[in-house]
Amino acid sequence: MRLPTLITHIAQVFLALTILGLAAYGVDYISYNVLIYSLVVAICSVGVSSWMIVTRTFLAKFDNIYVSLGLHAWMLIFWTVNLGLTASLANEWNPQCSYSPASGKMCASFAKRDTTFRTYFGALVASAVLISLQLILWIGTTTLVALDLKRRRSTVSPAPSGGLTPRFSAETADEGDLEKQRNLFDNVSAAPIRNQAQPVLPPASPDIDGEPIEPFRPYMPGSQHLQYAPNSRSNDSNLTSPPQSHYSWSGEDGIDDLGSPVPLPPALNGLYAANQGDLPTPSTC
């Protein structure tokens, strides 16, 4: 739509200059307020059309669709009023009647032979016709601007019914705006809803994968050994010391201030057994 709009604005400039010349001729003969108003409208139209041409060619950064639409609406109103006033004035200068500043409007048969009268009437009629063409051109350019605004709004995604603004995704971008990339958050499933209480289990450990897990039993006073140890695939009855792959906790020294068991490294198990006089054996419970 850019090229047709530019051609139309150029035509509007030439028509406005022509109407400006005819209005200046009429004001020089008789300074009607209607003709003075036509001069002002023609000058404003030349300025607006020139601004539209410049912003669409050389100064594109100043091109604003809403400003353009407002200027078009302003010109439509001005040219519509100018057309009605000029047509009414041309009707007053009908060739059947004559007009003089001293006696006013007079109707006489010789008026048709008055060259000045016919020239003035012809200038008014020409102005009315050109103003009609100018109004048609402004209606056309206003329609093009409205279609351009509608096209720009159609490229924007509508807001959801909930009122939240949709998150921008590369999948909804126009081709050429940016490189489309898959968004990791486009296909995110909602977390399942729990209808009842469920235990939260830790992930499986590689050391105890496939082995049954016995529940933790807290240390009780008087007990020499903590009743917790993972099951081992080896025969623990033949062992004289705890296996290196497991930890054993025994005695009250293996309990911290909060009453929780503290693991002892395998190297300290023998030292602890020598001090106690008894070598602990892992429990198989």
211-248: per-residue pLDDT in tens?
A: 666 666 666 666 554 444 445 454 545 545 555 444 44
Q: Identify whether residues 11 and 143 lie together within a single domain.
A: yes
Q: Identify whether residues 129 and 225 lie together within a single domain.
A: no
| 128 within some domain | yes
Q: Identify whether residues 11 and 144 lie together within a single domain.
A: yes
Q: Identify whether residues 131 and 226 lie together within a single domain.
A: no
Token readout for 195 is 């209808």
pLDDT at residue 281, rounded to an integer:
54
**Long-range contacts of residues 211-217, Cβ cutoff 8 Å, at least 24 apart:** 214/285
Average pLDDT over residues 28-34: 88
Average pLDDT over residues 161-183: 51
Average pLDDT over residues 139-153: 85
Residue-by-residue DSSP string for 121-189: HHHHHHHHHHHHHHHHHHHHHHHHHHHHHHHHHHTSPPPPTTSPPPPP-GGGSPTTTS-----TTSS-P
| 170 within some domain | no
| 225 within some domain | yes
| 210 within some domain | no
Q: Identify whether residues 128 and 12 lie together within a single domain.
A: yes
Q: Identify whether residues 131 and 222 lie together within a single domain.
A: no
Instruction: Name the residue with higher pLDDT: 14 or 270.
Output: 14
Residue-by-residue DSSP string for 211-270: SPPPPP----TT-SB-S-----SS-GGG-SS--TTS-B-BSGGGB-TTS-B--B-HHHHH
**Long-range contacts of residues 82-85, Cβ cutoff 8 Å, at least 24 apart:** 82/37, 82/38, 82/41, 82/131, 83/128, 83/131, 83/132, 83/135, 85/34, 85/37, 85/38
- Binned at pLDDT 50, 70 and 90, residue 43 comes out as very high
Q: Identify whether residues 16 and 99 lie together within a single domain.
A: yes
- Binned at pLDDT 50, 70 and 90, residue 283 comes out as low
Domain end residue (candidates: 130, 154, 178) = 154
Domain end residue (candidates: 109, 131, 154) = 154
Q: How does strand 97-100 pair with strand 104-107? A: antiparallel
| 189 within some domain | no
Q: Identify whether residues 227 and 88 lie together within a single domain.
A: no
pLDDT at residue 46, rounded to an integer:
94
- Can you give the residue range of the structural domain that contains 225? 218-232+242-285
**Long-range contacts of residues 10-15, Cβ cutoff 8 Å, at least 24 apart:** 10/49, 10/53, 11/137, 12/45, 12/49, 12/134, 12/137, 12/138, 12/141, 13/45, 13/46, 13/49, 13/50, 13/53, 15/130, 15/133, 15/134, 15/137
| 190 within some domain | no
pLDDT digits (tens, 9 = 90+) for 104-139: 655 554 444 456 778 888 889 999 999 999 999 999
Q: Identify whether residues 27 and 101 lie together within a single domain.
A: yes
Token readout for 234 is 């080896």
Q: Comparing 11-25, 87-101, 218-232, which segment has the lowest mean pLDDT?
A: 218-232
Q: At a CB cut-off of 8 Å and minimum separation 6, what does 178 contact?
A: 170
Q: Identify whether residues 129 and 267 lie together within a single domain.
A: no
- Binned at pLDDT 50, 70 and 90, residue 13 comes out as very high
| 27 within some domain | yes
Cross-strand pairs, 250: 225
pLDDT value at 160 more than 60: no
Residue 277 is classified by DSSP as T
d(C-alpha 204, C-alpha 216), whole Å: 16
Q: Identify whether residues 148 and 222 lie together within a single domain.
A: no
pLDDT value at 172 more than 80: no
Domain end residue (candidates: 154, 178, 208) = 154
Full-model pTM: 0.50
Q: Identify whether residues 129 and 50 lie together within a single domain.
A: yes
Number of domains in the chain: 2
| 75 within some domain | yes
Cβ-based neighbour number of residue 8 at 10 Å: 17
Q: Comparing 39-48, 114-123, 165-174, 180-189, which segment has the lowest mean pLDDT?
A: 165-174
